[in-house]
Amino acid sequence: MALSYKARRRWALVILLIALPAYIIAATALMAWVTGEGETRPSILVELGIYVGLGVLWAFPLKAVFKGVGQADPDQRD
Interval 23-55: pLDDT, tens: 999 988 888 887 776 667 778 898 889 889 988
Q: Which residues contact 31 (CB under 8 A, 6 or more apart)?
A: 47, 50, 51
Question: CA-CA distance, 48 to 46, in Å (whole number)?
Answer: 5
Question: CA-CA distance, 54 to 58, in Å (whole number)?
Answer: 7
Q: What is the separation of C-alpha 66 from the centre of its chain, rounded to a whole number of angstroms? A: 11
Q: Kindly report the pTM of this predicted structure.
A: 0.73
Look at residue 1 in the predicted model and tell me its pLDDT: 60
Decide: 32 and 26 in contact? Cβ < 8 Å: no
